[in-house]
Amino acid sequence: MGKVYDALRRAEEQRLELSGERPAPGQPAAATLAPAERRTKPAWFWRRWLALRRNRRQQAALEDAGSWNKRRIAMLRPDSFAAEQFRTLRVRLDSIAAQHPLRTIAIASALPGEGKTLAAVNLAVVSAMNVGRRVLLVDCDLRRPQVHATLGLSPEAGLAEVLKDRATLSEAVIKVEGLNLEVLGVRLQPPNPSELLASSRMRSLVEEAARSYDRVIFDVPPTLALPDAKTVCDLSDGVVLVVRAGSTPSEDVAATLDVIDRRRVLGLVLNGLEDSARRYGYPE
Tell me whether residue 236 is in a domain: yes
Domain that holds residue 135: 64-279
Mean per-residue pLDDT pooled into runs of 10, the chain (284 residues) = 56 54 45 47 63 56 46 56 85 92 95 91 92 94 93 94 97 93 96 96 98 97 90 96 90 92 90 59 44
Kindly report the CATH number assigned to the domain that includes residue 98: 3.40.50.300
pLDDT for 139: 98
Tell me whether residue 33 is in a domain: no
Tell me whether residue 59 is in a domain: no
**Number of domains present in the structure of the chain:** 1
Measured CA to CA in angstroms, residue 167 lies from 9, 98, 158, 187, 194 at distances of 38, 34, 8, 12, 19
Tell me whether residue 15 is in a domain: no
Tell me whether residue 225 is in a domain: yes
Tell me whether residue 120 is in a domain: yes
Kindly report the CA angle at 192 between 120 and 141, in degrees rounded to 5?
A: 10
Measured CA to CA in angstroms, residue 224 lies from 117, 229, 243, 256 at distances of 16, 8, 13, 6
pLDDT for 8: 57
Tell me whether residue 54 is in a domain: no
pLDDT for 53: 62
Burial class of 252 by CB neighbour count within 10 A (0 to 12, 13 to 18, 19+): buried
Nearest to 261 by CA among 236, 282, 243: 236
pLDDT for 15: 54
pLDDT for 131: 81
Tell me whether residue 214 is in a domain: yes
